[in-house]
A and B are shown apart, each in its own frame.
Chain A
Amino acid sequence: MNNDIIINIEDVAKTYQMGAETVHALRSVSLQIRKNEYIAIMGPSGSGKSTMMNIVGCLDTPTKGTYLFENENVATMNDNELADIRNRKIGFVFQTFNLLARASTLKNVELPLVYAGVKKDERQQRAFAALESVGLQDRTHHKPNELSGGQRQRVAIARALVTKPSIILADEPTGNLDSKTGVEIMRLFGELWKNGNTVILVTHEEDIARHAHRIVRIRDGMIESDTINPSPAEV
């Protein structure tokens, strides 16, 4: 029965040491996520949403507790194995985009494919297709600082989708978008979910969270509520 639980977090905590002060970004979180779930994570600023996403995305390791990714304990994996999971299984949309400032839009989107060992021609084709899906086909040669905040966010989304990962982790993916573009992006996530992928997104907009099938609320590093959305909105 455990089989389709792909993300299994047990009593996970994350603390940061800031000089003499210990910051409890996550106090104790337990969460099971099955394949092909569509989850929204909500909570006030500073409640630990990004910290949890980083742990789920195999970017950060918990200070306490266990995390099984596809039934494998992440704590036992080395740097390269984690890099491999990030590259092949997870598409991460960062809250702060994290684009390479010196590289063009197309190069930015190609980057995960470079590390996946995809040949140049195919790489460019797929990167272009991903940019097309977020409506940026005419911005391929712009640098990030030549794009608006919303456009950068869409580049970050295209980059997360380009490897066709089975799990999408998006931290405030619509934070900088007008409602029309926001709806476009939500349509994209809806399609990904329909195609059998797992979608986890952080948002503070109830309007966005409506699309998810399950809503997890976090406060002060703890899960406050974890509820099923009886009637998810279709786009």
Chain B
Amino acid sequence: MNIFESVILAIDAVRSHKLRSSLTLFSIAIGIFAIIGSGTAVTSLNETVSKQMAEMGEGVFVLQKFPPVMSNDMWKKLRGRKDINFQQAKLFQQKMIENAEAVGIENSTGGIKVKYGNLSTDQNVSVAGGDDAYFITTNIMIEYGRPLNSEDVSMNRRVVVIGDDLVKKLFPVGSPLGKIITIKKQNFTVIGTIKRRGSVLGQSLDNRVIIPITVFMKYIADEWDVSVAISVKALSLDKVDETMDEAIGIMRGIRGDQPWMESSFAYYTNNTLSEQFEGFTKYVGFFGIGAGIVALVVAGVGIMNIMLVTVKERTREIGVRKALGAKRRWILQQFIIEAITLCQLGGGIGIILGLMGGVFLSLILGTVVAVPLHWIGISIGVCTFLGVFFGAYPAWKASKLDPIEALRYE
């Protein structure tokens, strides 16, 4: 029949029952909003992280004392581990260097205030100690000046490479190169600046400085965290696994791990990190979709209610249509189209809210705004399904009406 007419009738039904309709449309909107919103958030988070991972360089793995993410049980089990101290790392580096493109040593701390003259940053700068290879394994690019070199490390030079946030804050005019800045009462000469990297999850990656690891261990490192992390870049991408096996073997030797014991250190690649992250975002997604489904079921029952009332109110109309020769399927079709229209109205509002919410969240977290277009398709599909599913019973009831009884209905 005329689909357009059914759509008009549906909008009519919404208008004549403003409160009930708006509550129902609202809960559809909430459901779709939850689904679209979490879809947008998850897509944005994942895209941001994979972008970040790609930037950190491929074919790199890290060895450190603890895994990057630990459950409570794991922590209880592993808390007794011995530090990977600088000497062990140095030894590892010497043994590994021939079989890898670069082996970097690093430790870092956060919440530090950096000063230049009478200018100073907030107490939130992250300070890393690294070496020349650290710049390669973490893919840190230099904008002006130079990175740390091996002499800076071996000769304990008081030099520093600074991130873009510090350039802006401490050196609003003029070049920072050659200037002296103060970190934890120690003076350092700026020898380079890091190319801007942006932010992940609202956290700037440019609010950091890098000094030689040797100097770091001596003056800056927190006394409770002197265990270093070692990052290894394999000679080529297809050699990562092989290189990792080798590295684990060497490290076990250095740490004196007996063959029957588990390794006394953790190792992971960027892939394992991003997998873990995706596992986390999956939960966010499932939660959003779950909440959405609950809201949609509630809304579906509301749609059914509206449609039942509509059928009741229009009993005479149905009688007239049947008397004039409308077959059952015409009546079914008319009311199901009305139910679908109702759902799509709510869904449309939900899509708009969901996109706005997703964009808003992305802006807060400073992530890439990823509009999940396929989610819009999905929600249109979901709304159609809702309309058919919850409109079916009222429509069936309408189609079953006896024409004479319907015509006599007051």
Contacts and interface: CB of A to CB of B under 8 A. Distances in A.
Given A114-B1, A114-B2, A159 B324 contact: yes
B404 A59 contact: yes
Contacts of B382: none
Contact of A83 (B1, B2, B322, B404): B322
Interface stretch (A26-34, A98-106, A186-194, A227-235): A98-106
Chain B interface mostly helix, strand, loop or mixed? helix
B325 A86 contact: yes
Interface residues of B, number: 19
Nearest to B2: A114
Contacts of A177: none
B319 to A, nearest CB: 7
Contacts of B323: 59, 86, 92, 94, 98
B12 A102 contact: yes
Chain A interface mostly helix, strand, loop or mixed? helix
B319 A83 contact: no
A211 B327 CA distance: 35
A158 to B, nearest CB: 13
B324 A86 contact: yes
B255 interface: no
Given A83-B326, A83-B327, A84-B327, A98 B321 contact: no
B7 to A, nearest CB: 14
Nearest to A101: B317
Interface string B303-347: 000000000000011011111111110100000000000000000
Contacts of A60: 403-404
A60 B319 CA distance: 12
A74 to B, nearest CB: 14
A116 B326 CA distance: 9
Nearest to B329: A80
Contacts of A178: none
A79 interface: yes
A227 to B, nearest CB: 29
Interface in A76-134: 79-80, 83-84, 86-88, 92, 94, 96, 98-102, 111-112, 114-116
Nearest to A91: B324
A15 interface: no
A100 B320 contact: yes
B1 to A, nearest CB: 6
Contacts of A159: 324
Interface in A150-207: 159
A112 B320 CA distance: 10
B330 A54 contact: no
B167 interface: no
12 contacts: A59-B407, A83-B325, A84-B327, A92-B324, A98-B316, A98-B407, A102-B317, A111-B324, A112-B324, A112-B325, A114-B1, A115-B325
Interface in B390-410: 403-404, 407
The 6 closest A-B pairs by CB, nearest first: A87-B325, A115-B325, A112-B324, A60-B404, A86-B325, A83-B327
Given A54-B404, A115-B327, A98 B319 contact: yes
Interface residues of A, number: 24
Interface in B270-329: 316-317, 319-328
Given A59-B323, A80-B327, A98-B316, 9 more contacts: A60-B403, A83-B327, A87-B324, A88-B325, A92-B324, A94-B323, A101-B317, A115-B324, A116-B325
A156 to B, nearest CB: 10
B325 A59 contact: no
A98 B325 contact: no
A104 to B, nearest CB: 12
Contacts of B324: 86-87, 92, 111-112, 115, 159
A159 B323 CA distance: 12
A127 to B, nearest CB: 13
Contacts of B322: 83
B407 A115 contact: no
Nearest to B324: A112
Contacts of B12: 102
Contacts of A80: 327-328
Given A59-B403, A111-B321, A79 B1 contact: no
A59 B326 CA distance: 12
Contacts of A59: 323, 403-404, 407
A87 B324 CA distance: 6
Contact of A79 (B317, B319, B321, B327): B327
A181 B2 CA distance: 34
Interface string B1-45: 110000000001000000000000000000000000000000000
Nearest to A60: B404
Contacts of B321: 111, 115
A192 B98 CA distance: 107
Interface in A5-29: none
A92 B403 CA distance: 13
Nearest to B330: A115
A59 B323 CA distance: 6
Contacts of A96: 407
Contacts of A88: 325
Nearest to A162: B324
Contacts of B319: 98
B350 to A, nearest CB: 29
Contacts of B1: 114-115
Nearest to A80: B327
A58 to B, nearest CB: 9
A60 B407 CA distance: 11
A92 B404 CA distance: 13
A18 B109 CA distance: 88
Given A88-B325, A92-B323, A100 B317 contact: yes
